[in-house]
Amino acid sequence: MSVNDRIATQIKRYTKITPSNSSGDGVFSFSKGNPVIRFSIAEQDAFLLAPETRLQFKFKAQADSTTNTNIANGNAHNLDPRIGVQSIIQTLTISSRRYATSICEQIQNYNQLVSIAHPTLNSTRDLNSQRNHEQLCVGQGILRRNELGQSEEDALVANVNNVKVLQRKYIQNGGAGLANNAGYDCSIELHAGMFQSNNLDLRLLGGLELEITLAPDANVFFNAGANTTYQISDVILNAPLLYKSANQMGANPAGSQLEFLTYSSLYNVAQSTNSTITNKVGLRGCLSMVQKFVPVKYLNNFGRQAVANDLQGANAFSGWNVGVKRLTFHRNGQRFPNEYQIITERGDANPALEVMNEKNGQVLINSLSAFDNYKDVKHTHLTSQNLADRTQNNYFLGVSFDEISGQGIDLSGGTISTEIESSLQDPCDNVAKPFGVFTFFLNKNTLVIQPNQRIMSIE
């Protein structure tokens, strides 16, 4: 027997999958077409290389769809500079094809999760290079403090304006009418927990169904009019498959277990300067939690977003420091995982201003730890001090529940809560206003799969 005969070979192929619910023209849109996109990945003896999977499409925007008017150079319409066209996804649902009643992962407010994760795990240069080609984002902040010989403050202001112009070019089109709107090709990573896992066995899962619900137009653009719309076309899911070797196909037992990560999402509203945000999540292997604050009036609202964006570049995906003064995490009424309270005030000269324009060092470490060991996060947008003002920073609260074993904690019973004392100041008028709180939990799942039965979670 030759050496080659004894080598178990595997084949990797990139599969382009078209939507199973595509219409004749293949156009999807929240307001002018089908707002739901579905993909089916067949059950087969192959692994889906989840981290390499990409959603690809052509993105087009219009200033006024009723008059068929494209966005021109003089318009102020824009996308968020940190997530770009990731903002078009409102909900992402992943389920099994064979076990039709089994939803593996569903992320409500998916675009808000990405607005936390991408700035946390990517630097300005990262977003302005690789991510720029994928999702049309340019990053937030500057690369050199003394650009063009200006003072630090002038350079910061100039850079904010330059970023807005650079971002805007992706949705502008000089021609008239949608037929002359060339659009931009995008290839975005799906930031789902399952797609951060390693290889997903399509035979054990019984194939996969992906359902993407598009976001409202008002939640995608800012500095835009009420008739601003977007549409996507030429949609495909680029799914790399690694086919099993003969040895692997013969080794599968009748019943198997599969491990992967998932995100869960919840929404609350903080209306008091002393608030306790309590959630009952029912997760057995919860690894971490992140929380982001956005003024309620900024959500799905063209006009309110435009007011802040005239100068500061704030929108529904910006993360505000709500004036956090004291912060404590609880599990079932007891402090957990930190046995201490974080007090962010650093001085007595003007405490209200100070807590608004900083990210406390301990809050920063906890926030990074929600995604990875903070010592291993080498590229990030997060800083302990804001670059210009609080709308320019990417502020969120985060905490890791299990940094040792990586197995997570059991939250199937009881509650997890965040006790926070803050000023809840609105970024426009510095008056206390209600803030929407987007909370995301990362969970480790262990599933047992039996032939001809539904998927059952055992951890």
Answer whether residue 388 shows pLDDT above 90: no
- pLDDT class of 163 with cuts at 50, 70, 90: low
What pLDDT sits at residue 299? 82
Proportion of the chain above pLDDT 90, given as a percent: 39
User: Residue 405: what pLDDT?
Assistant: 83
Q: Would you call 187 helix, strand, or coil by DSSP?
A: strand
pLDDT tops 50 at residue 347? no
- pLDDT of residue 120 exceeding 70, the answer is yes
Residue 348 pLDDT greater than 50, yes or no: no
For the whole model, what pTM was predicted?
0.89
What lies within 8 Å, CB to CB, of 82 at 6+ separation is 115, 118, 119, 127, 137, 139, 140, 317, 381, 394
Q: What residue spans of 315-360 are helical by DSSP H?
A: 351-356
Instruction: Lowest mean pLDDT of 24-38, 172-186, 308-322, name the range.
Output: 308-322
* pLDDT tens-digit readout, 403-444: 888 889 999 888 999 999 888 877 666 778 899 999 999 999
55 vs 450: which has the higher pLDDT: 55
Q: For 7-46, what is each residue's pLDDT tens digit?
A: 557 789 999 999 999 887 889 999 988 999 999 999 999 9
Query: Is-contact 371 116, C-beta < 8 A?
Result: no
Regarding predicted confidence, which is higher, 340 or 455? 340
| Strand 342-343 to 46-49 pairing | unpaired
Q: Is the pLDDT of residue 147 over 50?
A: no
Please tell me which of 47-56, 338-347, 439-448 the model is most confident about, judged by mean pLDDT.
Answer: 47-56
Spatial distance between the Cα atoms of 416 and 399, rounded to a whole number of angstroms: 12
Interval 385-391 mean pLDDT: 49
Q: Are strands 456-457 and 435-449 parallel, antiparallel or unpaired?
A: antiparallel
Write the secondary structure of 188-252 as one string of H (helix), E (strand) and C (coil): EECCCCHHHCCEEEHHHHCCEEEEEEECCHHHCCECCCCCCEEEEEEEEEEEEEEECCHHHHHHC
Most confident of 50-54, 250-254, 321-325, 380-384: 50-54
Beta bridge partners of 417: 278, 330
pLDDT value at 309 more than 50: no
User: Can you tell me the mean pLDDT for 148-165?
Assistant: 53
CA distance 430 to 437: 18
Task: Answer yes or no: is pLDDT of 211 > 90.
Answer: yes
Q: pLDDT tens, 257-276? A: 788 899 999 999 999 989 99
Cα distance between the two ends of the chain? 45
Tokens of 325: 């003064």
